Amino acid sequence: YRVWLDLANNLTQLIESRKLRELVHKMPVLSPHLLNNHRELRLAHLALGFISMGYVWQEGQHEPILPKALAWPYWLISRRLGLPPILTYADSVLANWKLKDPTGNMDLIFSFPGGESCRGFFTVSLLVEMAASTGIKVSKVAKLRLIKITCFVLDADHVEPNAFHGTLRIFVSGWRDNPMLPRGLLYEGVSNEPILLSGGSAAQSSAIQCFDALLCIQHEGETGAFLTRMRDYMPPAHRQLIETLSVCPSLRDFITTCSSSDLCQAYNSCVSALVDLRSYHLNTVAKYVIVPGNHARSMGCPLRGVGTALNSTGTGGSNLMVFLKSVRNTTQRALILERPKHQEKHEWNAAK
């Protein structure tokens, strides 16, 4: 499988020199049956995912067929992992890093691809996940604050908006709800019909959806349907955890029926922190996606079709700003309104 890793390791240069497709066409069709464990499968899924995205978008125009040398092993590996055959958030963020020194500080190496803005984007996303996972374990609102601080420091230091937008177009533009591939992508040797799949998206973050489930924040309509569909792009164990949390007894209902103002305040603090995070996310998207996208369109960038789509459409296929505002507003509505003191006293006496 060295040929896969060699292409993935040199992906940025191969795309810029327009040589990636030529080398993919020379690839042998390899069976993935020699991949023996979960780590090897995740690495293969990561490498083939990046190569596939680069192959499809190298020229900035639609390529409706993924060659069998990519499509067939990618499909089989995806089935074994329970993931779709496209580059997902679980690939580019969760499985794309290692510690430079396992015994030292949090100094990260990202596997694919190169470039400061690309690494900065993945670093931001990964540290959000690390802070969020700690927050899920200890349920402290401070952890949500840490996510916001982490994002602010990293995007200011490592991610240049226009360069980031170029990276985004190539590596997270899927083939569902994308005008460049209106019928989807044909996986040669796998299916006779094109397949529609969404690109990588923060909506595929299992950690953030866990916060929604824990805090009983229920997104409805198109927003709720989209978030539910994004769970299909998560590792199966992550998806199962969210579904389990979603059917547990409601934490919010318990708090609204008890008389503890401290519990109510703690719950509202958590929800408010999540509102702040989503407001920050909305502003960040405007800075790194909407504004650079408009600039790229006015300059006539080579990937103008993909860039134009991403100006208003999220990488997962959502209507970007409408979706983000809906998610933020629904989170805000979950706040428990303060009850009048006389009502609390009445409820307390009734409970006694």
Numbered residues of the known binding site for heme b = 281
Residues in the chain: 352
| Helix%, strand%, coil% for the chain, nearest 5 | 65, 5, 30
H-run or E-run covering 186: strand 186-187
Contact, 132 vs 164, CB < 8 A?
no
Name every residue whose Cβ is closer than 8 Å to that of residue 306 and which is 6 or more positions away in sequence: 57, 60, 169, 170, 173, 178, 180
Q: Residue positions in the annotated binding site?
A: 281
Contact, 15 vs 55, CB < 8 A?
no
Euclidean distance between CA atoms 62 and 59, whole angstroms: 8
| Strand partners of residue 249 | none
Tokens of 209: 């959806």
User: What 3-state class would DSSP assign to 65?
Assistant: strand
